[in-house]
């Protein structure tokens, strides 16, 4: 009697334990069959409500018009599209790290993302100049075509992979101005001995022409030319340049922007930070970067002419075109600089091959499309207006 009573008492408990074990086993089996673990489930579960907070640093002053707003627009788009699941706090140059340390800070995981210009890092990644702009190269429309449909972005990713970075196009200024000078440029000899803020491959070309090229963060440019640390500078174009007040410290404003015909800025994201996000948030980051990239070009297109008219009509700025012989000499210098670059760095040679192939094709088409139309419009309309 005692043993039978004990069996009856514990039989229901045994059955419950067996059922629980079976349920657990089936659950693990189902998870394994679906190919997802606990981490991957978190990456695709939108209903979890988990929130992520990123820090983004930039090479520009906080909320600076044009250049500085791409990061702000990106942050706003990400927060809105993710319904607040991913927020991005944007810091201006110097708030967390100096402007020229953005690349390293994002690479090392000090912050999650950054915004700047790839050619700032040519000392670490020589091929990076192609992903911003090279003298006499692709314009903004053509650059976006090469990056997104011509293999350029994949090469950019390859170049940055050793640094644990994922690059994305982060805005374009369009064709820039040749820069601000405190003396007239009438021949190539006028560049000799001139100290100018001009970064990237163009800086090498300028130096070969007899000048001295320096790289100075935007926030230091006004004081540098005002105090004579530099004799000339290039920044962006009328919209940004007027906001910086360069018309107060330099007299001559030259065009065309031979050195940066279609400058593309960059978002750089720490690879670990990006891969820690669920798949849908990763897609939102990429989509927001594309939107911010186009938005900047739209804004410059809309605002540059009004700013230029203000500089000339209200501030007495002397608008001048660079002489043809100066442009020809700079083009010859560009050919030498490009040859030296591709011969010294295998990745630069690989990127250049892709860039050159796309350049030749798009230039051929634009002769009978964009360029042909603008020429025809000018010839037909003359001084007439709509």
Q: Is the pLDDT of residue 340 over 70?
A: yes
Token representation of residue 383: 């001084």
Structure confidence at residue 151 (pLDDT):
98
Q: What is the pLDDT of residues 62-83, one digit of tens each?
A: 998 899 999 999 999 999 999 9
Sketch out the chain's domains with CATH numbers: 51-172+263-299 (3.40.190.170), 179-258+318-381 (3.40.190.10)
Q: What is the pLDDT of residues 177-208, one digit of tens each?
A: 999 999 999 999 999 999 999 999 999 999 99
Mean pLDDT across the stretch 317-323? 98
Q: What is the dihedral of CA 233, 238, 240, 242, to 10 degrees?
A: 90
Q: Is the pLDDT of residue 23 over 70?
A: no
Structure confidence at residue 342 (pLDDT):
97
Q: Is the pLDDT of residue 343 over 70?
A: yes
Task: Look up the pTM and report it.
Answer: 0.86
CA 92 to chain CA mean position, Å: 15
Torsion over CA: 30, 32, 38, 42 (sign): negative
Spell out the residues 6+ positions from residue 248 whose beta carbon is closer than 8 angstroms to its own: 222, 226, 315
Nearest to 101 by CA among 217, 180, 17: 217
Q: Is the pLDDT of residue 36 over 90?
A: no
């Amino acid at each position: 009697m005692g043993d039978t009573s004990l069996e009856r008492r514990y039989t229901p408990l045994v059955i419950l334990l067996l059922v629980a074990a079976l349920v657990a086993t089936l659950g693990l089996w189902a998870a394994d069959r679906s190919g997802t673990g606990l981490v991957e489930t978190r990456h695709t579960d939108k209903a979890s409500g988990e929130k992520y907070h990123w820090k983004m640093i930039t090479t520009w002053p906080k909320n600076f018009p044009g250049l500085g707003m791409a990061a702000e627009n990106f942050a706003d788009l990400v927060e809105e599209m993710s319904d607040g699941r991913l927020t991005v706090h944007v810091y201006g140059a110097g708030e967390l790290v100096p402007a020229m340390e953005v690349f390293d800070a994002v690479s090392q995981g000090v912050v999650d993302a950054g915004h700047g210009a790839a050619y700032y890092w040519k000392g670490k990644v020589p091929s990076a100049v192609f992903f911003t702009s090279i003298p006499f190269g692709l314009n903004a429309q053509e650059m976006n075509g090469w990056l997104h449909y011509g293999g350029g972005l994949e090469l950019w990713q390859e170049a940055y992979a050793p640094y644990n970075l994922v690059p994305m196009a982060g805005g374009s200024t369009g064709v820039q101005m040749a820069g601000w000078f405190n003396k007239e440029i009438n021949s190539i000899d006028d560049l000799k001995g001139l100290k100018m803020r001009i970064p990237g491959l163009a800086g090498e070309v300028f130096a070969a022409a007899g000048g001295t090229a320096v790289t100075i963060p935007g926030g230091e440019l006004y004081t540098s030319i005002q105090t004579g640390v530099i004799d000339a500078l290039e920044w962006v174009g009328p919209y940004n340049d007027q906001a910086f007040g360069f018309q107060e410290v330099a007299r001559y404003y030259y065009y065309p922007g031979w050195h940066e015909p279609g400058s593309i800025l960059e978002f750089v994201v720490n690879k670990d930070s990006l891969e820690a996000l669920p798949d849908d948030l990763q897609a939102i980051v990429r989509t927001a970067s594309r939107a911010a990239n186009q938005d900047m070009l739209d804004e410059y297109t809309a605002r540059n002419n009004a700013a230029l008219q203000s500089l000339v009509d209200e501030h007495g700025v002397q608008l001048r075109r660079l002489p043809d012989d100066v442009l020809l000499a700079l083009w010859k210098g560009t050919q030498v600089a490009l040859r030296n670059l591709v011969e010294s760095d295998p990745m630069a040679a690989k990127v250049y091959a892709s860039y050159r192939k796309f350049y030749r094709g798009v230039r051929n088409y634009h002769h009978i499309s964009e360029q042909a139309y603008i020429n025809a419009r000018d010839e037909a309309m003359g001084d007439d207006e709509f």
